[in-house]
């Protein structure tokens, strides 16, 4: 939480005072945003001929984030990112968000303003308008629930259930970094709890820490695919790990798949940290770790030529008939069946 000297109690402003303070930095930029914060509901005018997509994600303190090491500004940014990533996974353009908060009196007005600084930065980066929300009290911690709205022409919207046999499986960026970053943050938190004067050892981990604390939704790729005139045949964002997301595409498309270990993109810092600091298989981190917010998608073989030299898209396998199952071909030449090991929330 904020260590600033100033501490204004939320009760001194009241719910409406707080909302007024938080909203003052936000303006409406999207043509489709007709009315934002102030009324009982916001008004959106969809672009003609387009479909709208809507997605909600809820983040709970001590389930999805730990304020011991998650700066509130980054948390606000990440909460928006998770939602924008879902809109990106539909191959749509995000336009608006709403933000609902449950707050305990532990939080000062300054702390919530920090959270909203991150939300504001994300709104600018992703070009979305904050058009409303809700604010309520909580007895147990912070909850942030964001709804994102986006639009696209119907023929560009991409679902999970439309992959075809023979399609090439693509993944953006690199995987497992956020999970490895989180393990380092948890390790340093435990060291600190045991010896509060110990300095956290976070030097040399900046890439993976940023992967966890400040991930980016891949809107850049949604725009690039549009510019290349490619519509993926299916798409999903990687919030729960590659295994779990690939299984979603396979199950919904009623197909199997094979992916190749040697093609799974990994960053050098993820490999080094998993291997040397955590004594973990980096492959397990990539397959089962969460929070990467990269895109997993399939393309027709005929679109491969257009994408094959893209520096940030990796071709990891192909779709096949359901009877052949979903498997990983390892470097050692084994075939391992992929099963659901995504984040188990319960
Ligand atoms: P109601 O009582 O009708 O639910 P509220 O008093 O909760 O209305 O909200 C007033 C206005 O402020 C609405 O436009 C609502 O969308 C907006 N709002 C409330 N809380 C937030 C928040 N945390 N972030 C952004 N907008 C908010
Ligand atoms: Mg309300």
pLDDT, block means (10 residues), the chain with 346 residues: 72 92 96 96 96 97 95 98 98 98 94 98 98 94 97 98 98 98 95 85 93 98 98 97 96 98 98 97 94 98 97 98 96 90 48
Question: pLDDT value at position 192?
Answer: 87
Tokens 């945003």 sit on residue: 33
Q: How far is the CA of 100 from the centre of ligand 1 (A)?
A: 8
Question: pLDDT value at position 189?
Answer: 93
The DSSP-derived string for 209-223 is HHHHHS----HHHHH
Q: Are the beta carbons of 258 and 317 closer than 8 angstroms? A: yes
Q: Are the beta carbons of 237 and 82 closer than 8 angstroms? A: no
Residue 41 Cβ inside 6 Å of ligand 1? The answer reads no
Residue 132 Cβ inside 6 Å of ligand 1? The answer reads yes
What count of residues does the chain have? 346
**CA 174 to chain CA mean position, Å:** 13
The pTM assigned to this predicted structure is 0.94
CB burial of 193-217 (b: ≥16 within 10 Å; e: otherwise) equals eeeeeeeeeeeebebbbebbbbbbb
Question: pLDDT value at position 5?
Answer: 64
Nearest CA, atom 19, ligand 1: 134
Ordered by start, the domain boundaries in the chain are: 12-156, 168-337
Token pair for 35: 């009315």
Residue 38 Cβ inside 6 Å of ligand 1? The answer reads yes
Q: Give the Cα separation of 93 and 98 in Å (integer).
A: 16
* Nearest ligand, CA 79: 1
Q: Are the beta carbons of 323 and 256 closer than 8 angstroms? A: yes
Assign domain 168-337 to a CATH class. Answer: alpha beta
12-156: CATH superfamily: PurM-like, N-terminal domain (3.30.1330.10)
**Of the residues 117, 135, 136, 148, which should be mutated to test ligand 1's pocket, given the most ligand atoms within 8 Å of the CB?**
135
Tokens 């779990």 sit on residue: 244
Q: Which whole-number Å values give the CA distances from 61 to 5, 114, 305, in the listed order?
A: 24, 16, 45
Atom of ligand 1 nearest to the CA of 40: 3
Atom of ligand 1 nearest to the CA of 39: 14
């Amino acid at each position: 939480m904020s260590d600033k000297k100033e501490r204004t109690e939320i009760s001194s402003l009241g719910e409406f005072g707080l909302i007024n303070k938080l909203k003052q930095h936000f303006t409406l930029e999207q043509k489709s945003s007709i009315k934002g914060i102030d009324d009982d509901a916001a008004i959106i005018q969809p672009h003609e001929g387009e479909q709208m997509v809507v997605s909600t994600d809820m983040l709970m303190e001590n389930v999805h984030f730990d304020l011991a090491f998650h700066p509130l500004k980054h948390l606000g940014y990440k909460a928006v990112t998770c939602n924008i990533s879902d809109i990106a996974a539909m191959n749509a353009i995000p336009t608006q968000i709403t933000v609902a908060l449950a707050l305990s009196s532990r939080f000062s007005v300054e702390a919530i303003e920090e959270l909203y600084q991150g939300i504001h930065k994300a709104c600018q980066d992703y070009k979305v308008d904050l058009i409303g929300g809700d604010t309520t009290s909580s007895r147990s911690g912070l909850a942030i629930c964001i709804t994102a709205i986006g639009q696209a022409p119907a023929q560009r919207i991409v679902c999970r259930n439309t992959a075809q046999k023979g399609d090439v499986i693509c993944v953006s960026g690199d995987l497992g970094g956020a999970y490895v970053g989180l393990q380092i943050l948890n390790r340093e938190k435990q060291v600190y709890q045991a010896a509060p004067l110990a300095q956290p050892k976070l030097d040399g981990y900046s890439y993976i820490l940023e992967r966890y604390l400040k991930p980016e939704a891949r809107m850049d790729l949604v725009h690039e695919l549009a510019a290349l005139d490619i519509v993926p045949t299916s798409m999903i964002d990687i919030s729960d790990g590659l295994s779990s997301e690939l299984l979603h595409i396979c199950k919904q498309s009623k197909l199997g798949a094979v992916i190749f270990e040697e093609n799974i993109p990994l960053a050098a810092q993820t490999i080094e940290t998993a291997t040397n600091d955590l004594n973990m298989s980096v492959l397990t981190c990539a397959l089962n770790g969460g929070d990467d917010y990269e895109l997993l998608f399939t393309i027709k073989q005929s679109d491969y030529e257009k994408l094959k030299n893209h520096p940030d898209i990796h071709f990891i396998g192909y779709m096949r008939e359901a009877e052949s199952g979903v498997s990983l071909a390892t470097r050692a030449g084994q075939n391992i069946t992929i099963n659901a090991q995504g984040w188990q929330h319960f």
